[in-house]
Amino acid sequence: MAATPPRRDSSTLSPRLTSTSFSFDNKQERDRTRDDIVELKKGLGIHAAETSGAWAAVPPVLSYCGASILMTLVNKFVVSGAHFSMNFLLLAMQSVVCIFCVTISKRMGFISFRDFDLEDAKKWFPISFLLVCVIYSGSKSLQFLSIPVYTIFKNLTIILIAYGEVIWFGGAVTRLTLGSFILMVISSLIAAWADISHTVTSLSLSAVWADPAGAAAQLPAVSTVVGNLNAGYMWMIINCCVTAAYVLTMRKRIKSTGFKDWDSMFYNNLLSIPVLALFSFLVEDWGYENLNRNFPIESRNLLLSAIAFSGAAAVFISYTTAWCVRTTSSTTYSMVGALNKLPVAASGMIFFGDPTTVGSVSAVGLGFFAGVVYAVAKNNQSKADKARAGPSSVIPLHRKP
């Protein structure tokens, strides 16, 4: 029977082997400690980045809000002239200024977009034509309606886009989203009711019918105001429909062309110029008297400056939109868009004397709340979609034991 070799105690190991094992254990411990320090620094760095990122989001958010408010106010100022009727000319001038600004910005190296290509232009022209319909119907509705009513009714476009995505892109509408849609519809109805009630009250129809002698003199004014009101709501409905069609069609076309933000802006404005100019020459009166009515001598320079400013503001809005989404997130951007409706509506009441009644204030408040609910619903839906897609591939910062 073979003898069992004696077991060697650690004390019987050679000093060289023992010191090597000890140094190896020390090296592992030092590596582990160094890894912990690196991870701690990473954690502190991420916390600092999150803190600085929160403050870094303030300038783009404020810039976007300020640009959208200025754009609405300037457009309202331009189209609110007593005899203004050349909307196509106005939009063509804005597009020319916009193209000039983005071209100069590209040459100075501030932005970049692809050069003009005829094939891309052919693919993108239907989108540009829809955009012409959007901005023209928007300018006409803003001409006849107050800024709060215009802002609240723009919410209805969100509903049309959402159900368009359900039909054509397989989207979904959650219960919370549906609840926000119901609030949007109610706020629009309240805004319309408040607007019509204020118009009727301001015309003092009861006094007109009580005084038949004065009724004949006031009836033309009554019919004009009511006609403008009906035209405003008609253009608003058209604007909501064509805006939804524009957004849904552009979403599908962007995938085929690979356009970025500045590419779509460049082609939209460039291709819309000939369409706007053609419609202006065909539809609008270019006579000397009509031009003087639209651009009175006493305010001509101010109007032309406002038109140029609004064209440049369109570029600034596009830039601040991209800046806001890049610095924060699309969810934060949608929330900012919802919250921005309140100062836009308030600016109309402050600068243009839009009626401040219980109904109008209630409609603005409810529309504001509906926008917030919609942004929260979209955020929850985005989180649910990510959860269904599975765990992310992000490497955790802590080591498992």
| For residues 67-72, average pLDDT | 80
Could you tell me what percent of the chain has a pLDDT over 70? Answer: 70
Residue 399 CA to residue 143 CA, distance in Å, equals: 63
Q: How many CB atoms lie under 10 A from the CB of residue 119?
A: 8
The answer to whether residues 66 and 130 touch, using CB atoms and an 8 Å cutoff, is no
Identify which of 321, 256, 30 has the alpha carbon closest to the alpha carbon of residue 123: 256
Question: In this predicted model, what pLDDT tens digit does every residue of 21-37 receive, in sequence order?
Answer: 445 455 555 555 555 55
Model confidence at 78: pLDDT above 90:
no
Q: Where residue 399 falls among pLDDT bands split at 50, 70, 90?
A: very low
Model confidence at 100: pLDDT above 70:
yes
Model confidence at 67: pLDDT above 70:
yes
- Its pTM stands at 0.68
Residue 276 CA to residue 259 CA, distance in Å, equals: 23
| For residues 297-303, average pLDDT | 85
* Interacting residues of 49 by C-beta distance below 8 A, sequence separation 6+: none
| Least confident interval from 12-16, 71-75, 347-351 | 12-16
The answer to whether residues 188 and 153 touch, using CB atoms and an 8 Å cutoff, is yes
Mean pLDDT of the chain: 74
The answer to whether residues 116 and 270 touch, using CB atoms and an 8 Å cutoff, is yes
Instruction: Output the CA–CA distances (angstroms, integers) from residue 257 to 24, 213, 251, 265, 357, in the order listed.
Output: 59, 66, 10, 13, 48
